[in-house]
Amino acid sequence: MRKYLILFLAAAPTACTSPADQPAKVERPVPVPEPTTVASSTAGPDQTVRQFVDWYLAKWETLPTDFLLNDDGQDSTMFYAVNFPGTEIWLREVQKSGTVSSTYLAGWRTYFRRYADTLQLHPQNDGPPAGFDYDFLMLSQEADARAAELKVGTLVVTRRQGRRAQVQARGPRHENWQEGLDFELTQAADGRWLIDKITPGGSDL
């Protein structure tokens, strides 16, 4: 009997510390980090076009327009010539809008050189000078009216692929006409969408 009692007491601590009698270990869930997103402050291509139109309406009356030499009509023996320093002043002002690319500016430099050659080949000192009888930004002889129509119209991104996009700007539809311009844009390294090219897009209805 004494032998059995010793065996029982020896086995008791083992029984008391068995895994079944220990309190269950509470597994704390590992917190899952919230997905982080970086808010983008860059404007989309359509917003860049809107900014361009708004900038034009605010600035069109004060933009430099000294594109030509000898166009004041005071000396009939002098012929029109492109004023390249004047065109550069204009280009710098347009660049300040923050909406156009170096490609857009280079396109106008090419345009001015081409018409400088034209005026040399075909001298002119009377009437509207060839290539300079319209507004270069709105591509119209009634530029402020076109811009005002586009401001209250619609902008539609018609194509967007990678860093290139096309935007269609249209004014309200009238009985038989509608103002419009088409824009080609690229996205710069800093995320901004900038205008590369503008072409007429309105039509008679």
Average pLDDT score over residue span 90-114: 98
Q: What is the pLDDT of residues 28-64, one digit of tens each?
A: 544 444 433 333 446 799 999 999 999 999 999 999 9
- Cα 56 to Cα 9, 95, 118, 126: the distances in Å are 98, 12, 29, 29
Name the least confident of 6-10, 87-91, 109-113, 186-190: 6-10
- Does residue 4 belong to any structural domain of this protein? no
- Does residue 7 belong to any structural domain of this protein? no
Q: Which residues neighbour 40 within 8 Å (Cβ) at sequence distance 6 or greater?
A: 191
Q: Using the Cα atoms of residue 46, residue 51, residue 52 and residue 58 in order, give the sign of their dihedral.
A: positive
- Does residue 36 belong to any structural domain of this protein? no
Structure confidence at residue 71 (pLDDT): 87
Structure confidence at residue 32 (pLDDT): 41
Q: What is the pLDDT of residues 138-196, one digit of tens each?
A: 999 999 999 999 999 999 999 999 999 999 999 999 999 999 999 999 999 999 999 99
Average pLDDT score over residue span 116-141: 94
Question: How many structural domains does the chain have?
Answer: 1
Higher pLDDT, 200 or 77: 200
- Does residue 169 belong to any structural domain of this protein? yes
- Does residue 129 belong to any structural domain of this protein? yes
- Does residue 40 belong to any structural domain of this protein? no
Q: Which domain holds residue 170?
A: 45-204
Average pLDDT score over residue span 89-110: 98
- Does residue 25 belong to any structural domain of this protein? no
Counting residues of the chain whose pLDDT is more than 90, the rounded percentage is 71
Q: Residue 167 sits in a domain of what CATH number?
A: 3.10.450.50
What are 194's two structure tokens?
């900038």
- Does residue 87 belong to any structural domain of this protein? yes
